[in-house]
Chain A
Amino acid sequence: MAQGKEGDKVREEFLAEAQELIETLSRDLLLLDESQRRGQRSAETLNDLFRGVHTLKGLSGMFGFERLGRLSHLLEDLLENLRLGRIDLSQPVLDVLFEGVEGFARLLAEAGETGEPTKVDIDGFADRMRTLARVKAPTHNVLEDFELDPNMLGVLTEYEEHRLRTSLEEGFSVFRLRVRLALDVIDTALDQLKERVKAIAEILTYLPSMDGTGGDAIEIEMLLATRKTESELRSALGRPDAALSLVLRRASGAPRTSIKAPSQAPQRRLKSSAPVPAASSALQRTAEAGPGSDHSLRSLTSVVRVDIRKLDNLMNVVGELGTVRAALGRFVEKLRTGVDQTLWNEAHRIQRAFSRHLSEVQEGVLDIRMVPLAQLFDKVAVIVRQVAREQKKEVRLLITGADTEVDKLIAEELADPMMHIVRNAIDHGVEIPDARTGVGKPNVATLAINAYQKGNHVVIELSDDGRGIDTALIREAAVRKGILTEHAASDLSRDELLGVVFLPGFSTATTVTELSGRGVGMDVVKTNITRLGGAVELDSEVGVGTKVTITLPITLAIISALLFEVRGRLLAIPLAVVQEALRMPRDAVRTVEGREVLTLRGTTLPLCRLGEHFGFSEPGEAAPRDLYVVVISVGNKRLGLCVDRLSGQQDIVIKGLGRSLSQVHGVSGATDLGDQRLVLVLDAASIIEEVLLGRSSPLALGGLQ
């Protein structure tokens, strides 16, 4: 049994690591896509991808994830061919790469479920790859046009030769650099030199020179590709002793040195990290290390992966310590009169210090939970590309504020709504390129995602410059679907009509195509975001575009709440949903069609008597003469909660109810006020939904039994 647990742990480690690798892969892939579009060089990105897939392959093999391993192997082959220039980087190839990385994600998800049969069709994928991977016929060998030392060419690896050839073909200047480095400092000196060179040029290869070695120094020879001039290169090197010479084009008609087939050439290279005993043996050492081997043993970052539940536990303990702090404060206060002044001062000082450090710990724990939105945006970028390709639309994604941080849990929960919005924007908002040019817009549409922090909230704006939503069509559809009466619909303002998109039942596929707007599952988007204590708004102008604004709390862990009493029970509700709290005489309540309402500044506010709503038994004491009404709002809906007494505002840590109570409607959790007393935290969204729409899940009323 112990072994099984150990196995689970190892498996989890693998899953987490693989997940991270795959995220990096998709990020690199997007980079590759970008540089391909712009016609930039992408050798480094290709190498990163290759290394990533290679590592994934190794991991999968080690942990026995056979299908993951197979897919990695296929992708590795493809990437190898790309790296070596055997095939060209084209859109179809990129598509296959994206498909492969998506396949990884799916396989991984399935691996997480333990033993579920997977639906990823690796064989089909392999076939598609095979048709792509038709290796180019060798073209004219550009290497023969240049004055290159055949001895040097002989020892280039296939990859190095490919890079050299590409650089020459693309018109880069190739320089030959020779420099003598003292043997005792060769490691650091070489690293330093490489750093400097990399800033302005690509290092095609570096080798200990064939001659010029001896004594306590070794001569290193490098081939560099750059667009800089010789003097620029020289000054960047900072080594006046280095010999630099441009590799010149052969005079035409000059005799050509025939070049050995490179793949048969011995692959020799000097590893910077290895000590160099003597020049000759260094030369003879074969490169047993493939790409990526430099990275495989050591982690690249100092990041620690932590299960979020561990942080939750820590948060709990910190919450408990808060209770201790309060008790300590009360105790010290009691001491004030009892003990002599110096003792009390000492106790007071200690208590203050404890209090301060505890606050720091609390902030620290919250901070650990924060992740940059970039993690989420990377996933969005993949979707954008994919949907745009599917729809044959041109979309440029513009992301700003990706370093804005939110609670990990929020970032996770946000993924689905974001995908939905983005998909809608491209599916229904963005026009096909021809249509865009027709109305005088640039043929490439722009989808802008902008995130920023605003007080204790994070705002994410997603705007497109597509065709926008026609409110007249919303009105028509809402009436036809029976969501609004003709009369009610005609009274709605533009904003209110846009809000209709979020109503359940409005957004169905047929409506959307007729609307040519968006709206698929926008009610789901809204529900998800409201559940996080956030809000979502929609603004749109026909022909100009649509903007969705999501506002979220930065963290779920600690929120400000309003506390109140209902029939002797203390309850809390997040302050974020509270508009105001009023005191009203009981006779101000009116009844409209059997529903109690209040007239508030000329508008009608529906009321909900919480005590009855929740079926709390009446306490002995008579209800207070006046009525307290807590006005809550979620999105564009408002509701007044009738409570007996307001009990102030407090920062609380919301804790979830156990699984046994997960289906209870109207309650999102509980909080410990410090005296072991638990207070229920109400779920504003579900209460509003239940009261105003008369909807509740059947489970909510009947309970579980």
Chain B
Amino acid sequence: MSGDRLASVAPGVLRGSSRVEQAGVREFLAFMVGSECYALPLSCVREIMRVPPIAEVPRAPADVLGIISVRGKVTTLLDLRKKLDVQGTPIGGRTRVLLVDQGEETMGLLCDRVLQVHRLGEDEVELASVLGNETSSYVMGIGRPGQRKAQGPKSGSKREARQAAANAHDILILLDPIALLKRQSHA
């Protein structure tokens, strides 16, 4: 699948090189943080999990919520709400951790709710540059899934409910996993 390739390509490629255009349709996982709807390339999401017990790490960077154990592996959990500077909801039944694999370290991203997988054609993706220079470096584009039929992971009424939720936020902010997980080095 074309999406598989996205995990290993540089953000520049995602922003519209010929290779991606040839690939045509790409898959994105949409999720909510606060009232905003975001999406990450599906290929970089290894797993969606419920929130395990979180151990606080004193003096960790502000966007680090703590550490969690993922099958025995100590994994850093990032707070997307802090990272993206949006007001989030408290951890509840719908809160999920996205395990994102990018570069040297697998990290967890806390999001308020996972929506669905969108397949976006190139005509459904606008580059981040449409937003001007003020956009954060994490945003690589805007997805408008309206033009194509969305493919939710589930079928039936549940799917329709999700569809409805997605339609309410029919603009997806496409995040760049590499920029998102990159740690500033203070060396």
Binary interface profile of B, 52-83, with partner A (CB < 8 Å = 1, else 0)?
Answer: 11011111111110011101111110000000
- Give chain A nearest CB distance to B144 CB in angstroms: 32
Q: Does B134 contact A (CB under 8 A)?
A: no
- Give chain B nearest CB distance to A703 CB in angstroms: 4
- Chain B residues with CB under 8 A of A703: 59-62
Tell me whether A676 and B69 are in contact (CB under 8 A). Answer: yes
Q: Does B186 contact A (CB under 8 A)?
A: yes
Cβ-neighbour of A658 out of B8, B62, B76 (below 8 A)? B76
Q: Does B44 contact A (CB under 8 A)?
A: no
Tell me whether A678 and B61 are in contact (CB under 8 A). Answer: no
Q: Which of A490-498, A552-560, A663-671 contacts B (4 or more CB under 8 A)?
A: A663-671
- Give chain A nearest CB distance to B7 CB in angstroms: 12
Q: A664-B57, A676-B52 given as contacts; is B72 within 8 A of A704 (CB)?
A: no
- Chain B residues with CB under 8 A of A664: 57-60
- Chain B residues with CB under 8 A of A658: 67, 74-76, 105, 107
Q: Could you list some 23 contacts between A and B, CB below 8 A?
A: A316-B73, A317-B72, A320-B72, A614-B59, A615-B59, A657-B67, A658-B107, A659-B183, A660-B76, A661-B57, A661-B76, A664-B57, A670-B55, A670-B67, A675-B53, A678-B53, A678-B67, A678-B68, A680-B55, A700-B59, A701-B59, A704-B60, A705-B61
Tell me whether B183 and A660 are in contact (CB under 8 A). Answer: yes
- Give chain B nearest CB distance to A656 CB in angstroms: 7
- Chain B residues with CB under 8 A of A316: 72-73
- Give chain B nearest CB distance to A419 CB in angstroms: 25
Q: How far apart are the CA atoms of A464 and B153 in the complex, in Å? A: 72
- Give chain B nearest CB distance to A181 CB in angstroms: 61
Q: A678-B74, A701-B59, A704-B184 given as contacts; is B64 within 8 A of A672 (CB)?
A: no
Q: Does A655 contact B (CB under 8 A)?
A: yes
List 9 A-B pairs, minimum CB-CB distance, nearest first: A614-B58, A704-B61, A678-B55, A703-B61, A320-B72, A705-B61, A316-B72, A658-B76, A660-B76
Tell me whether A319 and B72 are in contact (CB under 8 A). Answer: yes
Tell me whether B74 and A705 are in contact (CB under 8 A). Answer: no
- Give chain A nearest CB distance to B180 CB in angstroms: 12
Residue of B at shortest CB range from A657? Answer: B74
Band of interface residues on A: 35 or more
Q: Does A512 contact B (CB under 8 A)?
A: no
Q: Does A143 contact B (CB under 8 A)?
A: no
Tell me whether A677 and B69 are in contact (CB under 8 A). Answer: yes
Q: Does A243 contact B (CB under 8 A)?
A: no
Q: How far apart are the CA atoms of A616 and B63 in the complex, in Å? A: 16
Binary interface profile of A, 674-705, with partner B (CB < 8 Å = 1, else 0)?
Answer: 01111110000000000000000001110111
Q: A323-B72, A659-B183, A672-B69 are in contact. List 15 more A-B contacts (CB 8 A).
A: A317-B72, A320-B72, A569-B55, A615-B58, A616-B58, A655-B72, A656-B74, A657-B57, A658-B76, A661-B57, A661-B60, A667-B57, A672-B72, A700-B59, A704-B184
Tell me whether B57 and A704 are in contact (CB under 8 A). Answer: no
- Chain A residues with CB under 8 A of B57: 657, 661, 664, 667, 680
- Chain A residues with CB under 8 A of B104: 659
Q: How far apart are the CA atoms of A679 and B69 in the complex, in Å? A: 10
Tell me whether B8 and A657 are in contact (CB under 8 A). Answer: no
Tell me whether A666 and B74 are in contact (CB under 8 A). Answer: no
- Chain B residues with CB under 8 A of A655: 72-74
Q: How far apart are the CA atoms of A657 and B68 in the complex, in Å? A: 10
> For residues 608 through 646 of chain A, which have their beta carbon under 8 Å from a beta carbon of chain B?
614-616
- Give chain A nearest CB distance to B183 CB in angstroms: 5
Q: How far apart are the CA atoms of A656 and B57 in the complex, in Å? A: 13
Band of interface residues on B: 20 to 34
- Chain A residues with CB under 8 A of B183: 659-660, 704
Q: How far apart are the CA atoms of A45 and B171 in the complex, in Å? A: 74
Q: Does A1 contact B (CB under 8 A)?
A: yes
- Give chain A nearest CB distance to B66 CB in angstroms: 8
> For residues 405 through 437 of chain A, which have their beta carbon under 8 Å from a beta carbon of chain B?
none
- Chain A residues with CB under 8 A of B69: 672, 676-678
- Chain A residues with CB under 8 A of B76: 657-658, 660-661
- Chain B residues with CB under 8 A of A665: 59
- Chain B residues with CB under 8 A of A320: 71-72
Pick the most buried of B52, B57, B76: most chain A CB atoms within 10 A of its CB. B57
Cβ-neighbour of A669 out of B56, B61, B62, B74 (below 8 A)? B74
Q: How far apart are the CA atoms of A676 and B50 in the complex, in Å? A: 12
- Chain A residues with CB under 8 A of B184: 704-705
Q: How far apart are the CA atoms of A658 and B107 in the complex, in Å? A: 9
Q: How far apart are the CA atoms of A655 and B67 in the complex, in Å? A: 12
> For residues 364 through 386 of chain A, which have their beta carbon under 8 Å from a beta carbon of chain B?
none
Cβ-neighbour of B62 out of A319, A659, A705 (below 8 A)? A705
> For residues 27 through 59 of chain A, which have their beta carbon under 8 Å from a beta carbon of chain B?
none
Tell me whether A670 and B59 are in contact (CB under 8 A). Answer: no
Cβ-neighbour of B186 out of A319, A657, A659, A699 (below 8 A)? A699
- Give chain B nearest CB distance to A107 CB in angstroms: 27
Tell me whether A677 and B61 are in contact (CB under 8 A). Answer: no
- Chain B residues with CB under 8 A of A319: 72
- Chain B residues with CB under 8 A of A657: 57, 67, 74, 76
Q: How far apart are the CA atoms of A655 and B8 in the complex, in Å? A: 27
- Chain B residues with CB under 8 A of A670: 55, 67, 74
Pick the most buried of B52, B53, B67: most chain A CB atoms within 10 A of its CB. B67
Q: How far apart are the CA atoms of A670 and B68 in the complex, in Å? A: 10
Residue of A at shortest CB range from B53? Answer: A677
Cβ-neighbour of A679 out of B55, B61, B71, B105 (below 8 A)? B55
Residue of B at shortest CB range from A663? Answer: B186
Pick the most buried of B53, B68, B72, B105: most chain A CB atoms within 10 A of its CB. B72
Binary interface profile of A, 131-152, with partner B (CB < 8 Å = 1, else 0)?
Answer: 0000000000000000000000
- Give chain A nearest CB distance to B70 CB in angstroms: 9
Q: How far apart are the CA atoms of A319 and B107 in the complex, in Å? A: 21
Tell me whether A660 and B105 are in contact (CB under 8 A). Answer: yes
Residue of B at shortest CB range from A610? Answer: B58
- Give chain A nearest CB distance to B91 CB in angstroms: 15
Residue of A at shortest CB range from B71? Answer: A320
> For residues 17 through 52 of chain B, which have their beta carbon under 8 Å from a beta carbon of chain A?
52
Q: How far apart are the CA atoms of A675 and B69 in the complex, in Å? A: 10
Tell me whether A661 and B56 are in contact (CB under 8 A). Answer: no
> For residues 126 through 169 of chain B, which have their beta carbon under 8 Å from a beta carbon of chain A?
none
Q: How far apart are the CA atoms of A678 and B56 in the complex, in Å? A: 9
- Chain A residues with CB under 8 A of B58: 614-616, 664, 666-667, 680
Q: How far apart are the CA atoms of A452 and B87 in the complex, in Å? A: 59
Residue of B at shortest CB range from A320? Answer: B72
Pick the most buried of B55, B59, B64, B105: most chain A CB atoms within 10 A of its CB. B59
- Chain A residues with CB under 8 A of B67: 657-658, 661, 670, 678
Q: How far apart are the CA atoms of A704 and B52 in the complex, in Å? A: 24
Q: How far apart are the CA atoms of A663 and B59 in the complex, in Å? A: 10
- Give chain B nearest CB distance to A569 CB in angstroms: 6
- Chain A residues with CB under 8 A of B105: 658-660
- Give chain A nearest CB distance to B10 CB in angstroms: 13
Q: How far apart are the CA atoms of A323 and B69 in the complex, in Å? A: 13
Q: How far apart are the CA atoms of A254 and B16 in the complex, in Å? A: 95
- Give chain B nearest CB distance to A653 CB in angstroms: 9
Residue of A at shortest CB range from B104? Answer: A659
- Chain B residues with CB under 8 A of A701: 59
- Give chain A nearest CB distance to B156 CB in angstroms: 32
Q: How far apart are the CA atoms of A614 and B58 in the complex, in Å? A: 5
- Give chain B nearest CB distance to A27 CB in angstroms: 35
Pick the most buried of B8, B52, B64: most chain A CB atoms within 10 A of its CB. B64
Residue of B at shortest CB range from A679? Answer: B55
- Give chain A nearest CB distance to B68 CB in angstroms: 7
Binary interface profile of B, 3-16, with partner A (CB < 8 Å = 1, else 0)?
Answer: 00000100000000
- Chain B residues with CB under 8 A of A659: 104-105, 183
- Give chain A nearest CB distance to B169 CB in angstroms: 28
Q: How far apart are the CA atoms of A692 and B72 in the complex, in Å? A: 35
Pick the most buried of B60, B69, B183: most chain A CB atoms within 10 A of its CB. B69
Q: How far apart are the CA atoms of A663 and B67 in the complex, in Å? A: 14
